[in-house]
Structure 1
Amino acid sequence: MTGTFSNFDLNLLRVFDAVMQERSVLRASQKLFLSQSAVSHALKRLREILDDELFVRTATGMQPTARALAIAGPVRQALGSLEATIGLQTFDPGTSPRTFTIAASDFMTQLVMPRLLRILAVEAPQVDIVIRPFTRIDLAEQLDLGRIDVAIGTFATVPPRFSSDYLFDYDDVLVMGPSHPVGEMTREALSRLSLMVVSLGGDQEGAVDGYTSERGLGRRSEMYDRAAFERAFPQGGQSTRVAVALPHFLAIPALLDDTSLAAIVPRPLAASFARTVPVSIHELPYPARRFDVRSLWHERLTGDDSHEWLHGVIGRAACYLRKDMP
């Protein structure tokens, strides 16, 4: 069956959007305050109109078809524009019981979230935050579908459909446990160490120069300046061993304790470690680049009061990192 826009029921798009976000008829019905049968009936009508199955029931939930994925972004953008135009929702941070979903690594979570939560406790006590892992998801798809409100990280390429704000920048340093003798860190001294580094899925197929590309969005996944490291220790010359590659940062202090390992980590994270555990911080004996950290969101959210407020709060929570950086 086919239909024209003149007699199209726009409520079907609200149902489609809810099922796309929740991947569940039950959760979509709860979100829309409809019965499950009403949601199922709406999906049936939409399938007939679009001549596509749209969602396939699996053991892990309602999985969208290629056609559903293709229209999900435009549908979400259109609904968001209608809500903003009609003014269906007003946002007062002091009273609004909103939930925002943020994608961030453990590095960003440790540095930004404590201050963000302190701001929320005072200014938005009913606002809840959900942190999603920066890895193991298609970040661009989740932003397109509206399942993530904002991502915090380092990005090489940003498609025009996304907007971003600069938060801070950093370079890398070396951290060592208390069992290591403290002295000047030369290339020769570094070459005698066994190192830990962090890769957030940077070794997966399609990663280029430490960045993973998804739907035009390039996010940093190899969390040390590998190119600078390899220039300092070229193959066949003086070399050092990368003994451990981790998918996260927060295990590093425990692994440094009573071991011969040292780790290359972002400078602000090293400072955070040093405030709570006995580690020493050393400058790397070679020049490493600085990386920008940005907040990233879908452009359809620009101008939405609640999201403009969220971006401002994240910027305030991260601003101390700008002041403390050399």
Structure 2
Amino acid sequence: MTTTLNRLDLNLLRVFDAVMEERSVLRAGQRICLSQSAVSHALARLREVLGDELFIRTPSGMQPTARALTMAPLVREAWQSLEIAVGAPKFEPDKAARRFTIAVSDLVANVMVPRLLELIGNEAPLIEIAVRADSASNLAEQIDLGQIDAAVGTFSHKAARFQTRMLFDSDDVLLASSYHPLGPLSLKSLSHLSIVAISLNGENTDLLEGLVSERGLCRRSEMYDRAALERVLSDSGHGGRIVVLPHFLALSALLGQPELVAIVPRPLAVSMARTQPLEIHELPYTSRLDEVIALWHERTTNDPAQQWLLSMLLRATEHLREPANVSPVSAGSLTGKKSKEVTPALCRI
């Protein structure tokens, strides 16, 4: 059998299938764009390889032999499988039953994931989305192994095997309880406040500029511009007090205390202020502008399913690419997004 297959030109099976369907050498040639003589020559070669006449010419057309009748459904099925294998893959999200796994930061989980799940629930009801924290130490390895389809966060450096797309950018603002008005916010008044900030690695100051590096991927672990804040507090001569938390979950409860405020990414502040009694204040200094991006492995770039997932991530963050629309609540509060330059972070891989 192996010897026969090695001698067999698959194009001969294409001719066989056409003749089987048409029962005419002429019509088979027209169907597959070959001349009548080319079809006859192909049949002769196939007869020689298989040792069977395959088709007998009769007044009513080419009649298949018993061997040909046995072969025909198997060849048709095999040829259809080959056409699917080499054809352009399709992805129909409204019919597809598939599970996508995305890794996200705390920020993204709050400001993007609810909208993403809403969109997918409406348009692709059979699609499942598994959400993981992007703080895992082996994030790059999981993406390499295909265990994660996309990661969304702030990445300052990535190896060539990863592809990225910017979703939105984010700078820092100050968030405080509206029950305890701050009044105009200055460097001096800021230095007298107890400030809550988020760092996924807590008080670990050994990280290079608050970045975690592993296997060709460098991501930011601090959800605020630590260097800028510490600089202005040091310059004030007061020093201030910074309380560092590992996640955003406790913010709402802590901000109920009059002596505490928080420095958080702007999109999160806007989201929280829409549903809670909180005021957003522009900081009296310029913080870093971070880009939040979607990242995936290059091998999946042309996969229609991956392209659809990326389109959904873009749609789920569309509102975050627009200027913040929050009414001013007090002197020094948010009146619109400030124009800032992106400051790229450095990271050794």
| TM-score normalized by the length of structure 2 | 0.66
1:109 CA drift (Å): 1.3
After TM superposition, give the deviation of residue 205 of structure 1 in Å.
8.0
- Determine the structure 2 residue equivalent to 1:232: 232
State the AA in 2 paired with 1:314.
Answer: L
Q: Which residue of 2 aligns with 1:99?
A: 99
Deviations 1:164-218 (A, max 9, x none): 0010101100111234233111111111111111001265586210111011211
Segments of structure 2 that go 5 or more residues without pairing to the other structure are 1-83, 325-336, 338-349
The answer for the alignment partner of 1:197 in structure 2 is: 197
Distance 2:226 2:155 in 1: 16
The alpha carbon displacement at 1:283 in A equals 0.9
Asked if 2 retains the 8 angstrom alpha-carbon contact of 1:210 and 1:221, the reply is yes
| 1:320 aligned partner | 319
Q: Which residue pairs with 1:268 in the alignment?
A: 267
- The equivalent of 2:135 in structure 1 is 135
Counterpart in the other structure of 2:160: 160
The Cα shift of 1:231 comes to: 2.0
Q: Which amino acid letter does the alignment assign opposite residue 95 of structure 2?
A: T
Deviation at 1:230, TM superposition (A): 2.0
Residues 203 and 161 (structure 1), Cα distance of their counterparts in 2 relative to 1, 3 Å cut: farther
**Residue 60 (structure 1) aligns with:** none
2: distance between equivalents of 1:282 and 1:226? 18
Deviates more, 1:195-204 or 1:120-129: 195-204
1:280-323: per-residue Cα shift (whole Å, max 9, x none)? 11111111121101000011111001001000110111011111
Partner of 1:75: none
1:178 aligns with 2:178: yes
Residue aligned with 1:238, SS: coil
| Letter aligned with residue 308 of structure 2 | W
The aligned residue for residue 117 of structure 1 is 117
Change in CA separation of 1:130 and 1:239 when aligned onto 2, cut-off 3 Å = same
Long gaps (5+) in structure 1: 1-83
What letter corresponds to residue 274 of structure 2 in structure 1? R
TM-superposed CA distance for 1:273, in Å, is 0.6
Amino acid in the other structure paired with 2:126: Q
Instruction: Work out whether residues 102 and 150 of structure 1, in 8 Å CA contact, stay in contact via their aligned partners in 2.
Output: yes
> 1:180, 1:239 → 2: CA distance?
22
How many Å separate the matches in 1 of 2:152 and 2:186?
Answer: 33
Give the C-alpha shift of residue 236 in structure 1: 8.5
Structure 1 vs Structure 2 CA RMSD: 2.0
Task: Name the SS for the 1:275 alignment partner.
Answer: helix
Identity of aligned residues (%): 48
Superposed CA offset, 1:7-35 (max 9, x none): xxxxxxxxxxxxxxxxxxxxxxxxxxxxx
Residue of structure 2 equivalent to 1:254: 253
**TM-score (normalizing by structure 1):** 0.70
CA distance in 2, matches of 1:168, 1:130: 22
Partners of 1:216 and 1:226 lie apart in 2 by: 24
CA distance in 1, matches of 2:116, 2:213: 28
Q: Distance in 1 between matches of 2:162 and 2:185?
A: 41
Q: What does residue 301 of structure 2 align with?
A: 302
Structure 1 range deviating more: 275-284 or 178-187: 178-187
Deviation at 1:238, TM superposition (A): 2.9
Q: Displacement, 1:145?
A: 1.1
Alignment check: 8 A CA contact 1:182 1:280 kept: no
In structure 2, what is the equivalent of residue 149 of structure 1? 149
- Asked whether the equivalents of residues 202 and 210 of structure 1 are also in contact (C-alpha less than 8 Å), the reply is no
How many residue pairs were aligned?
242
Looking at structure 1, the residues matched to 96 and 207 of structure 2 have their Cα atoms a distance apart, in angstroms, of 40
Asked if structure 1 preserves the Cα contact closer than 8 Å seen for 2:137 and 2:214, the reply is: no
Is the 1:177–1:280 contact (alpha carbons within 8 Å) kept by the matching residues of 2? yes
SS state at 2:143 partner: helix
Q: CA separation in 2, counterparts of 1:234 and 1:134?
A: 32
CA contact (8 A) 1:198 1:224 kept: yes
Find the structure with the greater CA-based Rg.
2
Letter in structure 1 aligned against 2:191: S
